[in-house]
Structure 1
Amino acid sequence: MKAQRSRDALLNDPIATTLWQMTWPVVIGVLTLISFNVVDTFFIGLLGTDPLAAVSFTFPITFTVISLTIGLGIGTSAVIARQHGANHPDSARFDGTIALLLSAALVAILALLGFFNMDRIFSALQAQDRLLPLIRDYMSIWFAGSVMLVTPMIGNAVLRASGDTRTPSLIMASGGLLNAIFDPLLIFGLGPIPAMGIRGAAYASVISWAIGVVLVVILLVRAKLLSVSPPPQRTWLQEARVAAKKILTIGLPAAGANMLTPLAMAVLTAIVAAYGAPAVAAYGVGTRLESLASVIILALSMSLPPFISQNLGAGNIQRVEQAYKTAIKAVLVIQAVIYIVLVALASFIADAFAQEQAVKNIVELFIYILPLSYGLQGVIILTNSSFNALHLPIKALLLSVFRLFVMFVPLSYLGSVLADLMGLFIGGVVANLITATVAYYGFRYQLRKSAGSNA
């Protein structure tokens, strides 16, 4: 009944009101989820520049695993939301079960590959030899526990696809809160708990994920959103293959698009590494601040696709276009306000996250330039997620390739050649401007084409 009420709201209620009701709980959840990296960065920064630089080198790799999970979540959400929009709840429940099993298996394979190739990977990223022991301490624990990251994220995608954005937000919020509690306890120690340094940050994340696994499984079972019984037309194995194919058709291109981001970040990290450890440490702080400043964008990228997919399943193309435009306008206004706030607090932020003056100066430079384009970056991210919701994952993948490897990396590198780190950051702003323009008009063209084919 709850899923049916959510379906009616997504298909009939006022668009702006519905999107707001879906998005604000996700904002809280995403904010606390992002706090994993921000809190880790803050406490690890207290250990010194080398530990902070070591964790900064790990970010492209950890984000690769997370990107696979996010991509599979996108595929899960698009498939299940369309089933709900077409009023096929039994198929939605079975697809949700297959999504959980499939995602856990794929993340386990990727984590194993990363675990047994750590030194090769981080040496290729130009990590200094003295940082490799710190990186191994952190990543060996992170890889071992990463399978527990996938279940809460895919479970949340199943919940959001049914129209429930509040429950996933509570799960994400609890995970972020637990991580914030465990981080200082395990990094610095307290009473009988020994100080574990950088390893403590990894343990804090893994423990938080494990608790999230228990919570999300209980909630999915209680909400009756999972089933091991396939629809009657096929055997279990046949239906599982069909469900997996549907999820992977969208999920793998979406995962590939998401994985391009850490790949691009790895290239940029290698470029920044030429300016020394302080530059890498500052860039690591900046990328985490970017995630925090983009919380509205990330929340809308999670709440908008179920809205689009359910209306796509019901044949409401015009309502899809109105929702997309509403989300774009909101992001541009909100990110302009966030930029003003970041600039006003730039010195305070630099002091909070860095100890050396060289690191502080680069953090401030980052804040003054790159956040100018976060609204434009929001247009790109929302367009990307909207393409996936329309079951057009290849277009989303091509948009990501264009943004990162035709625009962002080349223009950032060109900027660094012309004007060092300042030029690198300006190049990123120009890249976001060009890509956002292409994304917006490209999506509107696709919607007109879809409307014409359905006429």
Structure 2
Amino acid sequence: MATPNLLQDTIRPTLLRMTLPMMVGIVSLMLFNLADIYFVSLLGTAPMAALAFTFPVTFSVVSLAIGFGIGTSAILARLIGEGQQEKAAELATDNLMMTLLLVLGISLIAQFFMTPLFTLMGATEEQLPYILAYMNIWWFGAVFLVTNMVANSVLRARGDTKTPALVMAVSSVLNMLLDPLLIFGWGPVPAMGIQGAAMASVIAWTGIFIVVIYVLYQRYKLIILMRPIARRVFGHWLTVMKIGVPAALSNMMTPIAGGVLTAMVAQHGAEAVAAFGVGNRLESLSLLVCLALSMTLPPFVSQNFGAGHIHRVITAYQGAIKFALIWQLLVFVLLWIFRESIADLFAASELIKAPLLMWLSIVPLGFGMQAVIFLSASTLNALHQPLRAMRISILRLFVFFIPMAWIANEVWGLQGMFVAFVLANSAASLVAYRVVSQLLVVKCGSQQ
């Protein structure tokens, strides 16, 4: 199947063709996350809780990668929409090189701050050794994780979602195969415990990095060999970062807020933290269809924005919002019906099952509104309005989410906090939809 023409093909079938492959890739990625927590849960409650503590930090790095990818995709897709193919290749090459160097530096520096950070988050002396054992290895692969994600954004800006999906699927399958081997050992392979889960990820990311760079160089000529002139490299980097930095900050707010929420949950014991960690991964799986749509919508928006087709942008955005609300309501119903079976699968003990059942019964009700928020943010970034997207993130997390969760936790406990999650997402989604709708009306009017 040929790469779709984002400027001419019918909108709904085009988005569907782009989104389906990304769904496959994200499903495999989420399954790998669930496999991680399943195998680690077999080691006991302390390692399982330790893995939950690592989530805000690892997701911070993922958020950084998402931000860099958003900036890269928005600029590249617009250049492609304007027909500037050579300039797009130069920018992609320089941006990938700078991403690799920056994350390498972050990984080296971060090693020195792990103990005080996780102690501040509420990790106990029993959990801390497991956390450090995992993170000390995980940081070695972070540079490949981030560069892979940015490289996949380059492919999506080109309109190719099948290759990134295949890359994610292969990486996840490799990770799932390595997980039990390295965690529990087999034959000459020693049991590494929770370190094995991190090592499996590092090996998978390193292998996929080589493949993705080859595809960009050989198939699409979006990586080219040229002398790294400082003025050009930093010029491209600054162009991308005008969108990438606000987008990265917006995404990094989520794990920062997640760390605060984890500390609140920790007041209810290690079992509640473990259940919350399972819930975070189930949340990603439950939102996977809309997450896939949020990855395919921006290149469509940016290319059509670059070509001046604002009416196609409006139609695509409104259709995506309607779909997200209906789809996530269906997901909530299914999770509620099968909540007992899901809790039995991931709960290592009855003490973990109770808070997990509570989470499954309440939190997914807000997933539709959460999808509206990140679809709106991705549309704003694609329209080169990253500061508006960042303001929505600030509003959601620090005006609605954390204050409402803190009050509810103090007054009604864990159940009240979960209800507050739903209410906060609902309030923020109304603001996000209004901001994007008003902006699109203005853009459309300016072209008439």
* TM-score class normalised by the smaller sequence: over 0.9
Structure 2 residue 189 is matched with structure 1 residue 197 = no
CA–CA distance in 1 between the matches of 2:402 and 2:371? 18
Matched, 1:226 2:226: no
| Equivalent-residue separation in structure 2 for 1:453 and 1:112 (angstroms) | 48
Distance 2:366 2:22 in 1: 23
Which residue of the other structure, out of 140, 143, 146, is the alignment partner of 2:142? 146
**What corresponds to 1:427 in structure 2?**
420
Give the ranges of 4+ consecutive aligned residues of structure 1 lying more than 6 Å apart after TM superposition.
none
Query: Which residue of 2 is the match for residue 387 of structure 1?
Result: 380
Instruction: Give the CA deviation at 1:322.
Output: 0.5
The answer to whether structure 1 residue 237 and structure 2 residue 230 are counterparts is: yes
Q: Kindly tell me the number of residue pairs found equivalent between the two proteins.
A: 446
Q: 2:329 maps to what in 1? A: 336
Separation in structure 2 between the aligned mates of residue 382 and residue 153 of structure 1, nearest angstrom: 18
1:366 maps onto 2:363 in alignment:
no
Give the alignment partner of residue 305 of structure 2, picking from 301, 312, 324.
Answer: 312
Equivalent residue for 1:90? 86
Could you tell which deviates more after superposition, 278-287 or 348-357? 348-357
Greater alpha carbon shift after TM alignment, 96-105 vs 303-312:
96-105
> Letter of the aligned partner of 1:394 in structure 2?
L
The answer to which of 384-393 and 146-155 deviates more is 146-155
Q: Indicate if the aligned counterparts of 1:36 and 1:205 stay in contact, CA closer than 8 A.
A: no
Q: Please list the CA deviations of residues 380-431 of structure 1 after superposition, one character each: whole Å capped at 9, or x if unmatched.
A: 0000010000001000111100011101111111111221111000001000
What amino acid is aligned across from residue 410 of structure 1 in structure 2? P
Structure 1 letter corresponding to 2:10? P
Give the superposition deviation at 1:166: 0.5
Q: Are positions 1:117 and 2:138 aligned together?
A: no
Maintained 8 Å contact 1:115/1:140: yes
Structure 1: gaps of 5 or more residues:
none
- Mapped partners of 2:398, 2:45: distance in 1: 30
In 1, are the aligned partners of 2:95 and 2:233 still within 8 Å (CA)?
no
TM-score by length of 2: 0.97
1:303-335 CA-to-partner distances (Å, cap 9, x unmatched) read 000000000000111110100011111111111
Q: Which residue of 1 aligns with 2:394?
A: 401
- How do 1:340-355 residues align onto structure 2 when only pairs under 5 Å count? 340-355=333-348
1:452 to 432, 436, 445: 445
Alignment of 1:126-137 (within 5 A): 126-137=122-133
**Unaligned residue ranges in structure 2 (runs of 5+):** none
Partner of residue 170, structure 2: 174
Separation in 2, partners of 1:207, 1:35: 17
The AA in structure 1 aligned to 2:292 is: A
The answer to whether the aligner puts 1:75 opposite 2:68 as a matched pair is no
Which residue is 2:435 aligned to?
442
- Whole-angstrom CA distance in 1 between matches of 2:346 and 2:110: 28
Q: Which amino acid aligns with 1:146?
A: A
Match of 1:282 in 2: 275
Q: How far 1:106 sits from its partner (Å)? A: 2.1
Q: Distance in 1 between matches of 2:129 and 2:231?
A: 47
Aligned partner (choices 410, 414, 423) of residue 403 of structure 2: 410
Between 1:188-197 and 1:199-208, the stretch displaced more is 188-197
* Post-superposition CA distance 1:112-146 (Å, at most 9, x none): 23211110110110100111111110000001221
CA apart distance, 1:151: 2.2
Give the Å deviation of 1:229.
Answer: 4.0
**Given the alignment, which residue of 207, 210, 216 partners 1:214?**
210
1:129 is paired with a residue whose SS is coil
Distance in 2, matches of 1:228 and 1:255, equals 28
1:350 is matched by which residue type in structure 2? A
Distance 2:66 2:427 in 1: 25
Q: Aligned to 1:303, which of 291, 296, 316?
A: 296
Which amino acid in structure 1 is aligned with residue 358 of structure 2?
L
Aligned position for 2:262: 269
Counterpart residue number, 2:98 = 102
Identity %: 45
How far, CA to CA, are the matches of 1:83 and 1:435 in structure 2?
Answer: 32
Deviation by residue 1:312-365 (Cα, 9 ceiling, x = unmatched): 000111110100011111111111111111112211111111121010011111
1:53-73 CA-to-partner distances (Å, cap 9, x unmatched) read 001001000111111111000
Is it true that 1:29 corresponds to 2:22 in the alignment?
Answer: no
How far 1:103 moved relative to its partner? Answer: 1.3
Q: One-letter code of the match for 2:198?
A: A
Amino acid at match of 2:54: T
